[in-house]
Structure 1
Amino acid sequence: MVAGAALTLVASMTPAQAESAETIIKSPNVKHMANLPKTGSFAGAEAFNSDLAFQGNYAFQGNYNGFTIYDIKDPAQPKVVSRVSCPGAQNDVSVQGDLLFLSVDSSRDSDSCKSDYGVPTSKASWEGIRIFDISDKARPKYLKAVETACGSHTHTLVPATSSKSVYLYVSSYMPADIYAECKPPHDKISIVKVPLDEPTAAKVVSTPVLFPEGGNEQQEGLLLPTSGCHDITVFPSKNLAAGACMGDGVLMDISDREHPKVTATVTDENFAFWHSATFNNTGTKVVFTDELGGGLSVTCNARIGGQRGANAIFDIVDGRLTHQAYFKIPRHQADTENCVAHNGSLIPVKGKDIMVQAWYQGGVSIWDFTDSAAPKEIGYFDRGALSPRRTGGSWSAYYYNGFIYSSDIQQGFDVLRISDSRTDAAAKVRLKALNTQTQLPF
């Protein structure tokens, strides 16, 4: 197939499924450049690889047991620079200068990297943000811990209006009366301010309530009622944020970084769990993902169909969210494969809205939503089912400086390249860093 030619993908059609996780099916315009498998204490089935961040010639990969730093100067031959053992789900990661931040959303008996599981009913337990000095990539140094209410499931790096500090918008949820430091109501986020010249002074500076009257709690079919947010993406140049908040999708004004305000809210009876958000490059659209089944279920098959567990594309019109279409990968997965929309990023093509996205065991999808009402897939990469059955697949798939990097929960760190006339111009765009939930126009 000639690069740039439209792929013939029919929603009801399933290509020959790969026989095992070692077998790959992909579109002709995608090349698998490299894979580094999990090793050592990160190799176990419960040591999930999680999110990715990038800076210069380095990639940073979270894992439930810590994080890994890779040298990606030659993307076809990535190398492990260091691996830091520091258990705590999910260990979602972001970087700023010489600092690395990790989200911990599981009770620990201390904030130490040698901590063990804690008891959430005890005030002695800890969860929140960990901060590391990564000035020496081969020897990261643990600097500081900041405890946050209900932990930190995810966090978003938010540039301050001055260059002296950054903020972390911490998303967390699932309060319960029995928890010592995570009691309902919890319709809020935590905001951590980090002085860049004194990161050990980082602290929670506000806990704004986003849903003072409660969020969407009654809708039939919700995985969980709104009790905070799962993930937030910011578009700092417009003082805008999009929050995926369990039962609600929201827009926020973040002109006052410590006191964001919800300006628009939307619900969708097709959505079970508002998971994450991605703006287009002009901040005039938002793609929200629905994590149907919590990421653990089989949702990419004929029984579930092509709409549930899909992305929803919204245009921002006069400050409101206007639904345009759904998009879901057009390949059915085996009935043992957990599959649902997950983390992705824009491919920087001027004048186009093209995104690469992880779908757990649905693989990696590249799709075009330039026409909000008619999104279409233009490429994909997909492994076969894991055997024995377990949770796996691509957690995050992001485009950075000419290549696609995928954090595979079980299979490690993948590097892909797309060669297609619709995306080739993106290879000329060079970024100094990428924290995907912090969208800076290219």
Structure 2
Amino acid sequence: MSRPRLKAALVATVVLLAPACAPAGPAPSPTAATDGTDGIPARDEIRHSPNMKVVANVPLAAPFDGPDDWGTDMAFQGRYAFVGNYGGFTVHDIGDPEHPKAVARVKCPGGQNDISVSGDLLFLSVDEPRTDDTCASEAGDPAAAGAWEGIRVFDISDKAHPRYLKSVRTECGSHTHAVVPGKDAGTVYLYVSSPGPEPDTTNCAPPHQNISIVAVPVGDPGEARVVAKPELFAGRAAGEDGLGGCHDITVYPEKDLAAGACFGDGVLLDISDPVRPKLLQTVRDEENFSIWHSATFNNDGTKVVFSDEMGGGVAATCLPSVSETKGADAIYTLTPERELVRQGYFKIPRAQDAQENCVAHNGALVPVPGRDVMVQGWYMGGVSVWDFTDSAHPQEIAYFERGPLAPELHLGGSWSAYYYNGYIYSSDITKGLDVLRVDDPRTDPAKAVRMEELNAQSQRSY
């Protein structure tokens, strides 16, 4: 989500769930035809293509049962899924994907708690000033001397008992971050993206045309610190609402490349030296793109999909009156000379209601060897699986969606949707964790690909 910023022992509250806790609820049954031929779904009605169905749902639960406890991004490791929330994060056991269960809910508020994992460490992005860096903090005054925002680091060696280890303040906070492996296994880096500047604040002074790089010693994460603030965008024009910095950076270390969605434009970076990234190219699309939100490489590293979060995730942009090139994805090819060339656009082909926030949001590859296939969350537009092997003519393969939440526009729907070891997992803002299964000859080869860890912003080849 993009919107203007409102701007020792560390103890987190962990809600432990006993083995006898109630399992995930049964998969909701659709209440109308599943082929999408009879118009927009009714309020809360489930609709899906014949080749996709929801097999499980884990609803949000205490302590994440307040009106603003919105589900956010996800990461995966082994048999666990980690789901961020504005109130903290949840650890789900997905060893049996059709019967997932929450094993811990960690209360640690902070917008938006973008999440990633690496070995025994978990990282959360906090992009709002807090009164301090503890999990007991409250939303704070951005002009206050003690206001904190940035990265929180947890120990997840015991999945049922995560421990808060360390905080790192970063310039303008941390909206999102990407995990970058160091040249040796002893260090990981975090590329921290955040909007800004915000004049008259203590942590986000102009011009903010940089990212922050946090180094985390794996053996001593308490020594994590900011080691670089490369100014990658000096002199560029500001994006929507005057924002500098980046919204999201996706890294592909095997290719020594990163792609950044940086509000007003997209960027391609050389990350062969992870502490000294170099800007290779900047691309703009002022006619169609509003907020450059995220980026995804194809497996070969020869294409980049950039998404546009027109309206910041809180607007209805999937209406028949809105162009199919706005609030959409743009597919770029990457030439051998490492130049981005735009080829086509993709937007879900189903019109949504004016009561539904809908726009391109978080997604990642479905690992189909030899083809370029992606799954993506579209907020109330649901979850879409689409093929961009033909970059100029992308096509949807499968989808799942719910109808409007309320008679008026109301924030909801799929924040993120990722494929992991045979299933699609969707973090629904208000409904919790959905587990989906696709059965289609075009995606079935992905079921043979197994992953041990998945952070969507840190790509690995398959």
Q: CA deviation at 1:16?
A: 2.3
Which residue number corresponds to residue 331 of structure 1?
350
**Where does 1:16-415 land on structure 2 (aligned, <5 Å)?**
16-21=39-44, 23-213=45-235, 215-217=236-238, 223-269=240-286, 270-317=288-335, 318-389=337-408, 390-415=410-435
User: Cα deviations across residues 11-51 of structure 1 (Å, max 9, x unaligned)?
Assistant: xx974222122x21100000111011111121223111000
What is the CA–CA distance in structure 1 between the aligned matches of 2:104 and 2:63, rounded to whole Å?
13
What is the CA–CA distance in structure 2 between the aligned matches of 1:232 and 1:126, rounded to whole Å?
22
- For structure 2, list consecutive stretches of 5 or more residues without a partner in the other structure: 1-33
- The CA RMSD measured in Å over matched residues stands at 1.3
Judge conservation of contact 2:89–2:108 (CA < 8 Å) in 1. yes
What is the CA–CA distance in structure 2 between the aligned matches of 1:14 and 1:150, rounded to whole Å?
46
Where 1:105 maps in the other structure, the secondary structure is strand
Where 1:436 maps in the other structure, the secondary structure is coil
Judge conservation of contact 1:226–1:248 (CA < 8 Å) in 2. no
Fraction of identical pairs, as percent: 58
What is the CA–CA distance in structure 2 between the aligned matches of 1:25 and 1:45, rounded to whole Å?
25
Judge conservation of contact 1:280–1:346 (CA < 8 Å) in 2. yes
TM-score computed with the length of structure 1 as normaliser: 0.95
What is the CA–CA distance in structure 2 between the aligned matches of 1:158 and 1:123, rounded to whole Å?
31
Q: CA deviation at 1:259?
A: 1.0
Judge conservation of contact 1:401–1:430 (CA < 8 Å) in 2. yes
Judge conservation of contact 2:63–2:105 (CA < 8 Å) in 1. no
Moved more, 115-124 or 273-282: 115-124
What is the CA–CA distance in structure 2 between the aligned matches of 1:224 and 1:348, rounded to whole Å?
36
What is the CA–CA distance in structure 2 between the aligned matches of 1:416 and 1:161, rounded to whole Å?
37
Q: CA deviation at 1:122?
A: 1.3
Q: CA deviation at 1:305?
A: 2.7
Which residue number corresponds to residue 461 of structure 2?
441
Which residue number corresponds to residue 447 of structure 2?
427
What is the CA–CA distance in structure 1 between the aligned matches of 2:119 and 2:198, rounded to whole Å?
37
Where 2:446 maps in the other structure, the secondary structure is helix
Residues matched between the structures, number: 426
What is the CA–CA distance in structure 1 between the aligned matches of 2:446 and 2:185, rounded to whole Å?
28
Q: Quick one: which amino acid aligns to residue 258 of structure 2?
A: A
What is the CA–CA distance in structure 2 between the aligned matches of 1:363 and 1:60, rounded to whole Å?
20
Q: CA deviation at 1:216?
A: 3.0
What is the CA–CA distance in structure 1 between the aligned matches of 2:37 and 2:402, rounded to whole Å?
14
Q: Quick one: which amino acid aligns to residue 309 of structure 2?
A: E
What is the CA–CA distance in structure 1 between the aligned matches of 2:233 and 2:247, rounded to whole Å?
14
